[in-house]
Amino acid sequence: MRARALAGTLLVMVGIAAPVHAADVSRNAPPMLSARAAILMDAQNGTLLYEKNAFRQVDPASTTKIMTAILVIEHGGLNQIVTVSRRADGTSGSSLHIHHGQQYTRLDLLRGMLLRSGNDASVALAESEAGSITRFVAEMNVKAQQLGAFNTAYENTHGLTRPGHYTSAYDLALITRAALRLAVFQEIVRSQELEIRELHHRSARTISNTNQLLYGFAGADGVKTGTTAAAGKCVVASATRDGRQLIAVILNSQHRWQDAQDLLNWGFVAWNRVNVLKSGQTVAIRPVQRGVQAEIALVSHQTASFDLMPGDPYAVLVVAPVALRAPLVSSRAVGMATVAVGGQPVQRVALFPAHSVRARHSPQTFWHWIRNRLVNRGNWDDHSATIASG
């Protein structure tokens, strides 16, 4: 029976992000932005790297269409044919120039909505998906709550200014992070141009992306522009370098392209992705009682990554029994490592024995086994003799 051991807490590491030197000071200072609200977020882990009025409710303009796209993609049936209604045809604002009676696949309407910011395409998609704009908008609001975008409310599918229609830079980053997990969304928003086909008259045309960052900014791969008189000039931008994707939200900006570039460049230079714990890394060593070896390494089967600036501290806390008792199985967790970095959600990683450890048989146990074998053998011999004599 495994003996009960008190859990021990051990501080294993305290931050070793590369120290700050004099030359790093200007590098680590965030850029000056003209945007009234902005945010920079790591797309992988949701770490907030920069914020300016990021939780203030603002008009989202056509960045609204990111949520519209999420619902359309999640509903599926992107090859289904949609006949354009009079209502969609008559939608004001930025347009894909689709007309009543024309037919497009949902996928092509989705492309037109995201690349050309077609308000008419967003209405056609909503009617196709939910049967009415009202029902689709209700689904948008439910989805926002599910994603934790609590400072967001929708009144339409496209983002034209309307009372009660608002979001925040932080919420837009959350929504965009969810959208970028969808392969179809990623493929569309990183495209400079795409072809769409009108099926009724069998005509095709090529549309270009309104996101100017895609035409020259290193690593740019999305996401969506937006402009209205109330919202000003906006862009939700993403870029990937060395396998690291960042999301920048720029709202009501005098120089949205420059703001987005400056913020993304700063994020890639000033912040580093650090694997505080790596899969297979030894995190602690514990003694083994009654085992064929005296101690065992405890290893992580996961990687815990954080965004850190040079000199940022971090800590790894290990909670595990002060001693382990054999037998140990390498696939059975025996402890937990908690990785803490200031201002970021903690990550918890299970710890496992580096390999299985057999129990060591003591001399007493060995002679007890021999005695049982002899006794059992004697009983078997006696029983056999009785049968023979009968």
Q: Give the model's pLDDT for residue 309.
A: 87
At 231 the pLDDT is 97
What CA–CA distance (Å, rounded) separates 12 from 359?
28
Q: What is the pLDDT of residue 82?
A: 97
| List 52, 94, 117, 305, catalytic entry | 117
Q: Which residue has the tokens 């000056």?
A: 32
Alpha-carbon distance 202 to 353, whole Å? 64
Contact 41, 247 (CB under 8 A): yes
Q: What is the CATH number of domain 7-17+275-353?
A: 2.60.410.10
Q: Is 4 helix (H, G, I), strand (E, B) or coil?
A: coil
Q: DSSP per residue over 99-157, as a string?
A: -TT-EEEHHHHHHHHHHS--HHHHHHHHHHHHSSHHHHHHHHHHHHHHTT-TT-B-SSS
The pLDDT of residue 56: 97
- Give the residues of the chain that fall short of pLDDT 70: 1-27, 362-390
Domain boundary assignment for the chain: 7-17+275-353, 35-253, 366-390
Three-class secondary structure assignment of 305-341: EEEECCCCCEEEEEEEECCEECCECCCCCCEEEEEEE
Provide the pLDDT for residue 274: 87
Which of the following is catalytic: 26, 34, 52, 65? Answer: 65
pLDDT confidence of residue 8:
58
Say whether 92 is catalytic. no
Q: Do domains 7-17+275-353 and 35-253 have the same CATH topology?
A: no
119-130 helix and 133-146 helix, angle to the nearest 10 degrees: 90
Q: CB-side exposure of 7: number of CA atoms within 13 Å?
A: 9
Q: CA 283 to CA 276: how far, in whole Å?
A: 11
Q: What is the CA radius of gyration of the chain?
A: 31
Residue 12: predicted pLDDT: 53
CB 276, CB 306: distance < 8 Å: yes
pLDDT on residue 346:
87
Task: Please tell me the class of the 35-253 domain.
Answer: alpha beta
Using DSSP, state whether 226 is helix, strand or coil.
Answer: strand
Cα 49 to Cα 93: distance, rounded to the nearest angstrom: 34
Angle separating helix axes 169-179 and 65-75, nearest 10 degrees? 30
Q: What is the pLDDT of residue 386?
A: 31
Which pLDDT does position 381 carry in this prediction? 43
Q: Any catalytic annotation for residue 278?
A: no
Distance CA 289, CA 271 (A): 44
Annotated catalytic residue: which of 52, 62, 143, 253? 62
pLDDT of residue 42: 96
Active site residue 34: no
Q: For 273, list phi and psi in degrees, rounded to 5.
A: -80, 115
**Burial class of 148 by CB neighbour count within 10 A (0 to 12, 13 to 18, 19+):** middle
pLDDT at residue 388 in the model:
32
Burial of 38 from C-beta contacts in 10 A (0-12 / 13-18 / 19+):
buried
